[in-house]
Amino acid sequence: KQEVTQIPAALSVPEGENLVLNCSFTDSAIYNLQWFRQDPGKGLTSLLLIQSSQREQTSGRLNASLDKSSGRSTLYIAASQPGDSATYLCALLPNAGGTSYGKLTFGQGTILTVHP
């Protein structure tokens, strides 16, 4: 059974810092890995999607990496801003013989607070 762990559970940083959020998983047979952002009381916004054959993806100040052999993914946020404050979730889609109905396994999330 796939288990996903996100560390730290909460993080508070001053504005302008670069930071790293960690996601580890127990089963390397994944189809892809997706990072989401969730603002309080809102739905999930997709940030980055990494296919199992890829090592990293970048979007603006965000960079996500994937290392299947070690069961780890990191989300790097450069020059953090107060608007980055949210809960960040990583989620894995399993590779069930090349096809999958797409049940995501989520981590518990990292609550990020960026203070001015």
Partner 1 sequence: SQTIHQWPATLVQPVGSPLSLECTVEGTSNPNLYWYRQAAGRGLQLLFYSVGIGQISSEVPQNLSASRPQDRQFILSSKKLLLSDSGFYLCAWRTQGAIFGYTFGSGTRLTVV
Return residues touching partner 1 (CB under 8 A).
32, 34, 36, 41-46, 49, 51, 89, 91, 93, 99, 101-104, 106-109
- Name the residue nearer to partner 1 (CB basis): 36 or 80: 36
CB of 46 to partner 1, least distance (A): 6
Report how far residue 58's alpha carbon sits from residue 77's, in angstroms, rounded to the nearest whole number: 10
Tokens of 34: 């997706």
Q: What is the DSSP letter of 82?
A: G
Q: Are 56 and 66 in contact (CB under 8 A)?
A: yes
Considering the complex, state which of residue 80 and residue 93 has its C-beta at the smaller distance from partner 1.
93
